[in-house]
Structure formats: C-alpha cells, structure tokens
C-alpha cells in the first residue's frame, strides 16, 4: 500500500511543489511572469539539465514509493505536481521572449528529461494513475477523480510534446515498453473527453503508425506479454475496436522482426540504371549525390539515367523524397519497410509467380501501421496486361512530380522484368505542435521480378 508519508517529506518533491506553486501564482492567461534565469538559478544553480534531473529524481521517488495496487489523493497530487512543473518549465522555455532563438536551453532541458529517465517515469505514472482509488472517502471521491483525470491529461499531454520534438524516435522507443499497458489500464476508466482524445491520439496517431519500426514492435510485444492484466482493462471500453486492431497489428508484425533480422544483409537492390538488372547489396552501388536516392552499378548506368532516363529533371523530386524519408524514419525502419514490401509481394504472388509473370508494380499502403488487408488501399498493377497508371493517394507536392517518372520508368522496366514496389506510410506529427497533423511518406524500390524474385533471394 502506498505510504505517502514516506515521500511527502522529500525535499525534492517539496522543491517541485514550491516551484510549481510559483509557476501557478505567476500565470495569467497563458503567460508566466517568471524570469527563467533566476528560476533555474534558484532551483538548481542554473542548468536546465540539472533542473530536469531534479524533476526526474522526484518522479522516481514517487513512482517507487507506490504500492501499485491502489492510488491515493496524495500520490495523485505529487504526480500531478511533478508533471505540471516539467510541462510549465518546457512551455516557459519555449515561449520566453528573451530566449527566442535560444533553442539549446530547451534542448538541454528535454535532453535532461530523456537522459534521466523522466520520460519513462511518465509512462509509468500514466499506468499508476489508472489504479483503483484507495479508500474511496465518500465526500472527496469526486474531487480525487477530478484531480486524477487532470493529472492523466497533463501526463499524456507532456508525453505528446516529447514525441513531437525532433528526437521523437528515441522517446517513443524508450516509452513503448509500458505505454500500451498504461493506455489499456487508462481506457478502463471513465475518462473525460480531453483525456479520451489523447488516448485516441496515442492509439491511432502514434502506436499504430509506429508498427513499421522493428524496435517499437518488439517493445510493444514485450509489454503485451508482461502486462496482460493491465492491458486487458481496455475490454468493454469504447476503445475496444482500436485496441483490438492495434494488438492484431503488433501480433502480425512481431513475427516479422526475427525474419527481418536474418535477412538484413541480403543483396536486395537493383541498379537504378535504365533497364539495368544488376542486383546487389546497397553498399556496392554508387549513390546519386544529388538525391541520395538512386543507386547505380556503374558510371555508364548513372550517366544514361541522368540523360536518357531524365533523372536530371527528377533528381530534385527524389531529393525531397529522400530527405523526408530520412527525417521521418530511422534506418532500421527503412530497412524493415523494405523487408515488409518484399515479403508482402512474395506472399501475394507466390501462386502467380509459377503460372506467369507477376505484376511489375505493387503498391502497398501501410498507413494503418500495417498493410491494409482489404479495400482498394493495396493495388497491384500488372503492366504486362494493363496500361500503367500509378497514382498514390496521400502523395502531394513534390511527390506528384514523381508520378510521371513512375509511369515512364515502370513501362520500360517491364520489358526487362524489373518491378517497382511503392509504399505509403503514415507518420505522426511534424514541426508544428498540432497533434492531429500526420505526414505521409512513400518509398520506392526497384525489384528484379523475373529471376531473383522467384528464387530464394527475395531480400
Ligand atoms: Zn546498372
Ligand atoms: Zn539523383
């Protein structure tokens, strides 16, 4: 059972409480009237990183002191204070006029919270906040419940802010072991609309699209088997359909991870030269230095692609594609995606490969975080029998310029038995703070569909 007396005396929590009280008192509307420099000086002697460590430390003490069967009013208040203090510090650092352009201080604070495990504690805190209320004193039960929902809201909001910052892979990988079960436990509560919306966001906007990252898939799968009981609290909640879909997605993807790990070194690239069918490992190819996207087996291939293949007019469009891919996906995600595309292609065409020519364009839509199984979101175009048209929903801006290139190139490639796999993936977030913003990326792979695809080297 949680013994709040053990931590109420803690000077660290006291400090956070005092600071948060100061934040609260100085706040009018959305603005704070606190000088951030003197605040950091007073709190820790000047460093945003140190202040982050202080908060993480108080968080750890609070979380550790919990009995994990019930939660009481004091514990809820402590968690709320520590979360709100971090949240207010971050807002203050971001908003402060005098610090405008002084990104390092914000980064210092965020890195401090990451380095010291604060973000992991945050996920744990979400799970703890979903525990049954201890004692349920009849008079104040409503008040406690209100504070609990407020604390949940703050914790999820802060987590969302971490995932929105540039270093979002790291935070998501570090919290994904625990996040699913924490959300499952939370879903079992009677949530207020604001919290509901955030839970929804994490399920559909964060976790589902993250199923293209092998580390996150593994962490979620681990969380599922470690915390079945907490996770299962989502049943009979309004979130049941989303959880069911997410869990099915995790189950499907977790089986792929070991296969992906074994196949990681397979030669699986086809030279991007005009109608070239040389297959090899990526590192053996030359990369177009303009776009970092096209790969060539030789100088002649690179040259003829530039001129006859019209790459000089599409290089810029591929650069934007490549920049987007790199910004939004980790290297392991890109490798995993490549593996998924190949595997899905092979599975869908295991039969047709023996009987005839497989289609040379396959389009995969991974916007749900896994390949959609029905509807028109997955399309295969067989340009041996059909005129080639490629149009990918979700492509816009610079990607439109690439469509014309697909049409031209895929038709020529069909003649030599080279196919294209195109996939669309959804990613959450962007530079903006709006958590409803989603970004679509797509990836193109040229594949030799005639010989290597049908042989064991499917890579
Ligand atoms: Zn070549
Ligand atoms: Zn290029």
Ligand nearest to the CA of 294: 2
pTM of the model: 0.82
pLDDT at 99 over 90: no
- CA–centroid distance, 450 to ligand 2, in Å, is 26
Q: 174 and 116 in contact (C-beta within 8 Å)?
A: no
- CA–centroid distance, 297 to ligand 1, in Å, is 4
pLDDT range class, residue 168, cuts 50, 70, 90? very low
Q: What is the pLDDT of residue 345?
A: 79
pLDDT in tens, 220-249: 999 999 999 999 999 989 999 999 989 998
Average pLDDT score, the chain: 78
Give the DSSP letter string of 34-70. Answer: --HHHHHHHHHSS-HHHHHHHHHHHHHHHHHH--SS-
Q: What is the pLDDT of residue 165?
A: 60
- CA–centroid distance, 304 to ligand 2, in Å, is 12
pLDDT at 343 over 70: yes
Q: 3-state DSSP call for residue 440?
A: strand
Which residues make up the environment of ion ligand 1, defined by Cβ < 5 Å?
271, 273, 276, 278, 297, 301
Average pLDDT estimate for 283-309: 92
pLDDT at 432 over 60: no
Q: 3-state DSSP call for residue 380?
A: strand
Q: What is the pLDDT of residue 51?
A: 84
pLDDT in tens, 15-44: 667 777 777 777 777 666 777 767 777 766
Residues 425, 212: Cα–Cα separation, whole Å: 8
Q: What is the pLDDT of residue 454?
A: 40
- CA–centroid distance, 404 to ligand 1, in Å, is 22
Average pLDDT estimate for 364-375: 63
Ligand nearest to the CA of 293: 2
- CA–centroid distance, 300 to ligand 1, in Å, is 8
Ligand nearest to the CA of 300: 1
Q: How is the chain split into domains, by residue range?
A: 5-257, 260-448
27-36, 78-87, 206-215, range with the lowest pLDDT: 27-36
pLDDT in tens, 116-146: 888 888 998 999 999 988 876 555 667 888 9
- CA–centroid distance, 358 to ligand 2, in Å, is 28
- CA–centroid distance, 283 to ligand 1, in Å, is 14
Helix (H) or strand (E) holding 389: none
Residues 440, 405: Cα–Cα separation, whole Å: 19
Which residues make up the environment of ion ligand 2, defined by Cβ < 5 Å?
288, 290-291, 294, 315
């Amino acid at each position: 059972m949680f013994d709040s007396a053990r931590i109420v005396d803690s000077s660290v929590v006291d400090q956070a409480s005092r600071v948060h009280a100061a934040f609260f008192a100085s706040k009018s509307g959305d603005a704070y009237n606190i000088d951030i420099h003197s605040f950091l000086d007073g709190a820790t002697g000047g460093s945003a990183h140190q202040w982050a460590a202080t908060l993480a430390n108080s968080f750890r003490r609070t979380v550790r002191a919990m009995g994990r069967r019930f939660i009481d009013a004091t514990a809820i208040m402590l968690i709320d204070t520590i979360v709100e203090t971090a949240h207010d510090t971050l807002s203050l650092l971001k908003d402060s006029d005098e610090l405008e352009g002084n990104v390092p201080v914000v980064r210092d604070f965020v890195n401090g919270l990451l380095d010291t495990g604060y973000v992991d504690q945050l996920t744990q805190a979400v799970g703890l906040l979903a525990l049954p209320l201890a004692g349920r004193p009849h008079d104040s039960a409503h008040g406690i419940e209100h504070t609990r929902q407020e604390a949940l809201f703050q914790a999820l909001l802060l987590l969302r802010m971490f995932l929105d910052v540039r270093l979002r892979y790291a935070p998501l990988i570090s919290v994904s072991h625990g996040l699913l079960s924490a959300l499952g436990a939370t879903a079992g509560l009677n949530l207020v609309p604001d919290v509901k919306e955030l839970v929804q966001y994490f399920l559909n906007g964060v976790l589902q699209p993250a199923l293209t990252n092998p580390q996150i898939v593994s962490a979620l799968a681990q969380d599922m088997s470690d915390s079945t009981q907490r996770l299962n609290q989502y049943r009979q909640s309004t979130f049941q359909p989303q959880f069911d879909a997410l869990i099915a997605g995790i189950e499907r993807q977790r089986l792929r991870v070991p296969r992906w790990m074994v196949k990681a070194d397979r030669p699986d690239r086809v030279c991007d030269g005009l109608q070239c069918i040389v297959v090899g490992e990526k590192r053996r190819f030359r990369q177009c230095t303009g776009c970092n996207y096209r790969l060539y087996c030789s100088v002649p291939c690179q040259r003829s692609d530039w001129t006859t293949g019209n790459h000089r007019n599409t290089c810029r469009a591929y650069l934007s594609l490549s920049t987007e891919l790199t910004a939004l996906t980790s290297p392991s995600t890109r490798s995993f995606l490549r593996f998924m595309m190949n595997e899905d292609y092979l599975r869908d065409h295991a039969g047709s490969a023996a009987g005839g020519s497989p289609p040379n364009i396959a389009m995969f839509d991974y916007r749900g975080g896994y390949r959609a199984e029905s509807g028109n979101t997955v399309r295969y175009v067989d340009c041996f029998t059909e005129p080639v048209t490629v149009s990918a929903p979700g492509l816009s801006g610079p990607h439109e310029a690439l469509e014309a290139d697909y049409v031209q190139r895929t038709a020529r490639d069909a003649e030599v038995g080279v196919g294209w796999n195109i996939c669309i993936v959804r990613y959450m977030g962007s530079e903006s703070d709006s958590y409803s913003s989603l970004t679509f990326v797509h990836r193109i792979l040229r594949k030799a569909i005639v010989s290597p695809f049908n042989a064991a080297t499917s890579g």
